[in-house]
Amino acid sequence: MAVIEFKKVNKHFGTGSARVHVLKDIDFSANAGEFVLILGPSGSGKSTFLTIAGNILSPTNGQVFINGKDISTYSTKERESLRLTDLGFVLQSHNLVPYLTVKEQFELADKVKKSGNLTPDNLTGLLEQLEISELIKKYPEQLSGGQSQRVAIARALYTDPQIVLADEPTAALDSKRVKVVGEILHHLAKSQNKAVIAVTHDLRLVEQADKIYELNDGKLTLKN
């Protein structure tokens, strides 16, 4: 069964003559154990898709199911719990807390989600894979764009979410590290039976993906 599924999802912004139809009758599914790419240029609706998948925005119409349950039926408390425990976000803006060191970013996550996070040994292994172990005492302002991106990826994976949603996760990375991140996301899906969904225009990730969709002008097409 799909862990996340869209059925005829539409999203409009604005009203009257300013109304824009951003997502158009989107059908989508991702299973546990899959690394799924959604390819598309800027302005195609990728970020809107991701925020709906992440239960941050609601569709204008259509349904979004997580583990077979229509999330429009969730209470506010259930929505908050879903984002905290089941969803991990890798955002293009990184969203690191500026006054906390890299190590403290993970300690903050422990205070918000008190159980079920990666063990210290698993976190050490993840930081080594991402080549950021030596950065744990640095503040975000001391990191390059690529380093910030890799820290953001580690922080999203730290809470051990069932579904990982990534917005341009390799935008600031060179080809060598794109391959590393692609391998980590693919391995994460397979070894831990997670659904990993990345929206991107980076074709360098294609060889790592199990399923590829293309989003253009608000319409989603399965490519393989």
CA distances to 152, 171, 222 from 93, rounded to whole Å, are 9, 10, 27
Enclosing H/E stretch for 187: helix 175-192
Task: Please give the Cα distance from 113 to 126 (Å, whole number).
Answer: 19
Domain boundaries, the chain: 2-223
Residue 21 has pLDDT above 90, yes or no: yes
Backbone angles phi, psi at 200, to 5 degrees: -165, 165
Backbone angles phi, psi at 137, to 5 degrees: -100, 0
Task: Please give the Cα distance from 143 to 160 (Å, whole number).
Answer: 24
Residue 29 has pLDDT above 90, yes or no: yes
Span 99-116, mean pLDDT? 93
**Among 176, 177, 157, 174, which Cα is nearest to 165's?**
157
For residue range 193-207, list pLDDT tens digits in order: 899 999 998 899 999
Provide, for the chain, the percentages of residues in helix, strand and coil under a 3-state DSSP scheme, each rounded to the nearest 5.
Answer: 40, 30, 35
- CATH architecture, domain defined by 2-223: 3-Layer(aba) Sandwich (3.40)
Residue 93 has what pLDDT? 64
Residue 118 has pLDDT above 80, yes or no: yes
